[in-house]
Structure 1
Amino acid sequence: MILIFSDTGDKHSYIVDKGLRQIGEETCHVAYSRLFSDDNPTININDDALQLNIDGKTIKNLPDTTVWYRRQPSSFVTPENMLPEDEWFFNESANYFCGSMSTLFNESFCVNPFKSLGRMANKAIQISLAKETGFFVPNTIITSDPAYVSSFRKQYDTVCVKYLVWMTWGSGTKTRATFTAKIEKNEILESSQIRNSISIFQPFIKKQYEVRITVFGHYMQAVKIPQGVGVDPVDWRKNLNYLAHIKKIKIPYEIREKIIFLMKRMNINFGAFDFIIDKDQKWWFLEVNESGTFLWKQDNCRDINLFAPFVLFLKERNPEFLWDDCRYPDNLDYQKIQSLADNDPQYTRFLSYGFPQPFNKPSQKQ
């Protein structure tokens, strides 16, 4: 059994699920936000065994189950007729249940281990471990203190600010998001701008290009995101049309070795690594996303192959997984699986819900 924890609107998980079924694997695909409205999970502790009932399936051999934590829960569809003042209580209970459910699989092959997910989402730990591993890492502060930011800015001509949490705000045709931004030395920041968000501040590094490396097991694929017309010099995500220009790039041996060593220290077997390469060919570590997307690379670069290897990575449960093109299975053609998914009514319904919005605790009026 391969258990996939994701959420509505997530194309990645559904296509991988389709690929796993195509090669005969039994899967259980869970959308966190609809967990208690659609899947009816129950932890069953009895004389025979500890088991999980979910989505009409019974999972008894917990250590033999492969678990992919593609997404973490943010909010849940609440039962009908629930009073608004009870919704926060329900969401807190649901989050607690999800944590308890995940601990059932501590002895299973998990991508990534649940107890590593929270720790590795901590940017301070990431940056510290990367520096200890020998990567070039920009000097960093994480703060909302205007005095610290002012002192840090005096050391550099230009700094970058990146928010700890990714967020989007939409209103009609306009959307705002927390992209990385550049702050010039003479730019004036109000104290409220700093205090209103805990952020990461680093010196601005003039780059030749950026690199995104996707790693699972010991298999790695990297793409070069070049600088040029149409790409934002600070955050390339502002114009995703530019992804048509990405190219496959070779990963230097010393970078590969450091990545493998760092992942062992982090106790993860999957990661999406971001690097900046400067004019002196130094590779600067920015971050690793322990559940980052990767199929966009194959969508935009024909030389990249990630879909079939990742499906087999989940099937084979090998933390040192490597891919050999000679064993490419005919029934894992990426374009064909995409077409199957696009014509699946369940897939259409899955995407139609959209991504769930984080649940906000109601304010307490005194």
Structure 2
Amino acid sequence: MADRPGAVLVLTNPYDVTADLVLRRLADRRVPVVRIDPGADLHTGASLSAHYGTGGQRGTLRTASRTLDLTDVRSVWVRRPSPYDPPPDMAEHDGKFAAAQSFWGTGGILASLPGAHYVNHPWRIRDAEYKPAQLSAASRSGFLVPATAITTDPDEAREFCAGQPGGAVYKPLWDSRYRDSHGTAQQIWVCGVDPAEITDAVSLCPHLFQARVPKVFDVRVTAVGDHLFGVRVESPDLDWRHRQDLMTCTPIEIPEAVARSVTAYLDELGLVYGAFDFAVTADGAWYFFECNANGQWAWQPAETTAAIADALADQLQKGPDT
């Protein structure tokens, strides 16, 4: 493989065992790697500096074991870095200020490395996380998209859900942190909706309601560049993520029309990587649910996981297209 020299910069937390699968492959290929969790490590001894001027830019990242010239980065893998939280023991208002400066300063430096290949670029990840943007791009890309309403109007919500012949479901617009009245963390799963149970509380924030797809199984398609990996997901639950110990996954062929739409979607949103979720009906129709621009993938069958790790290592090793 003809690739640009330089290091691969991996932005992720220290507990990310999924990243280790790719890093081992890069190590076997003798590709230099620098791994850092900028939201945490810069509070514990690591340092980052950048200089800008008429002649261009330069900078240095120092960790406990590495010193990296920021002009010598071939690729950046934005995996699962920690949030830019304030340093420990800092006063509340000072901490908020420091966290914001880190987000815009550190985040801005690491998102603006000259000539680096991003998988994915953090700004593209953020743009692609908006559900309305996903649904809009999916429709333009040629996917089948279930009828969907995002509304703060309770009457419109009831009317929409009552008008779906096969029923409707509710989905959160974002995987927000949520705790019940006892302070216990809760996960909000996709769930069925009875129009009669929709209350005026819908007016407090946008809610996403969607026609229930009469699926016979789900599919996860993991895209790495122009390489696509599909698995059929069988689960007793409406939301297969709910009890993953009960689901089964087997590789599946991806129809050409779906593959073309995946490519169009990635191109429109400027993504190299995407984890797509579909529902497949008895007549073979694939309905788009969402695309996670930073979705997990190591839970899939061993052969699929290995192939995805190889494809990601290839992307990071090659660097930017010339």
When normalised by structure 1's length, the TM-score is 0.76
Task: Find the counterpart in structure 2 of residue 42 from structure 1.
Answer: 48
Task: Find the counterpart in structure 1 of residue 123 from structure 2.
Answer: 115
Task: Find the counterpart in structure 1 of residue 3 from structure 2.
Answer: none
Task: Find the counterpart in structure 2 of residue 132 from structure 1.
Answer: 140
Q: In the TM superposition, what is the alpha-carbon distance from 1:164 to its structure 2 partner?
A: 1.4
Task: Find the counterpart in structure 2 of residue 182 from structure 1.
Answer: 192
Task: Find the counterpart in structure 2 of residue 242 from structure 1.
Answer: 246
Task: Find the counterpart in structure 2 of residue 276 from structure 1.
Answer: 279
Task: Find the counterpart in structure 2 of residue 220 from structure 1.
Answer: 228
SS of the equivalent of 2:221 reads: strand
- Unaligned residue ranges in structure 2 (runs of 5+): 1-6
CA deviation digits over 1:283-305, x for unaligned, max 9? 10111111111111134x67963
CA deviation digits over 1:100-132, x for unaligned, max 9? 213322631100123322221122111111111
In the superposition, relative to structure 1, how do residues 170 and 14 fare at CA in structure 2: closer, same or farther (>3 Å)?
farther
Q: Give the aligned CA root-mean-square deviation in angstroms.
A: 2.7
- Unaligned residue ranges in structure 1 (runs of 5+): 320-366
In the superposition, relative to structure 1, how do residues 41 and 226 fare at CA in structure 2: closer, same or farther (>3 Å)?
same
When normalised by structure 2's length, the TM-score is 0.86
Task: Find the counterpart in structure 1 of residue 156 from structure 2.
Answer: 148
Amino acid at match of 1:102: L
Q: Quick check: which one's helix share is greater?
A: 1
CA distance in 1, matches of 2:233, 2:84: 33
Task: Find the counterpart in structure 2 of residue 326 from structure 1.
Answer: none
CA deviation digits over 1:146-187, x for unaligned, max 9? 233123223214211110121455799x752011111134x4
Q: Quick check: which one's strand share is greater?
A: 2
Task: Find the counterpart in structure 2 of residue 160 from structure 1.
Answer: 169
Residue number among 204, 211, 215 corresponding to 1:207 in the alignment: 215
Contact 2:74–2:115 (CA under 8 A) maintained in structure 1: no
CA deviation digits over 1:247-303, x for unaligned, max 9? 00011111112211221111111100111111221110111111111111134x679
Task: Find the counterpart in structure 2 of residue 252 from structure 1.
Answer: 255
Task: Find the counterpart in structure 1 of residue 290 from structure 2.
Answer: 287
The reply to whether residue 267 of structure 1 matches residue 270 of structure 2 is: yes
Task: Find the counterpart in structure 2 of residue 323 from structure 1.
Answer: none
SS of the equivalent of 1:20 reads: helix
Amino acid at match of 1:145: D
In the alignment of these two chains, the number of paired residues is 310
Q: In the TM superposition, what is the alpha-carbon distance from 1:46 to its structure 2 partner?
A: 6.6
Residue number among 12, 25, 31 corresponding to 2:37 in the alignment: 31
Task: Find the counterpart in structure 2 of residue 296 from structure 1.
Answer: 299
The alignment-based identity, stated in percent, is: 19
Residue number among 88, 108, 131 corresponding to 2:96 in the alignment: 88
